[in-house]
Amino acid sequence: MDYTLCGDYRLPNLLPTQEEEYDIGIYGQRYFRYIKEHDRILFINLLTTGKLNEHLTEIDKRAQDMKATLIKQMAEQEGINEALKEQDQIEWVKRMNSIRSRVKEIIWNEIV
């Protein structure tokens, strides 16, 4: 525990240290809601150690990286390319939306 010298007395620092500000995206926010409701011990531990925002940012970055990789891989496997986009835009949009929704489910189940 840290103490602050005030005159002749050492007083304990009861407030947690200030965390850095991080940009937390949608996956970090979803993970925040999930651990707050379902994993209170982890939530309290991260909050009291001052590492909650850092942890949420890391989760969000991993999810975003995984999303980009999976979308690219699935589009290649299913033959969705720029030629299809030029020939039939509606079909390209439908198929890409299908891939995006599947990727969101995969990320939610594996990371969040």
**Domain span including residue 83:** 24-110
CA distances from 50 to 17, 24, 61, 71, 88 (A): 6, 15, 19, 34, 51
Instruction: Report d(CA 103, CA 96) in Å as an integer.
Output: 10
The whole model's pTM is what? 0.73
| pLDDT 10s digits, 36-94 | 999 999 999 999 888 999 999 999 999 999 999 999 999 999 999 999 999 999 999 99
Q: Is residue 76 part of a domain?
A: yes
Tally of domains in the chain: 1
State the average pLDDT over residues 24-43: 93
Determine the residue type at 62: R
Q: Is residue 84 part of a domain?
A: yes
Q: Is residue 68 part of a domain?
A: yes
* Helix ranges (DSSP H) in 1-112: 26-38, 40-49, 52-77, 82-87, 89-110
Q: Is residue 15 part of a domain?
A: no
Could you give the 3-state DSSP secondary structure of residue 111? coil
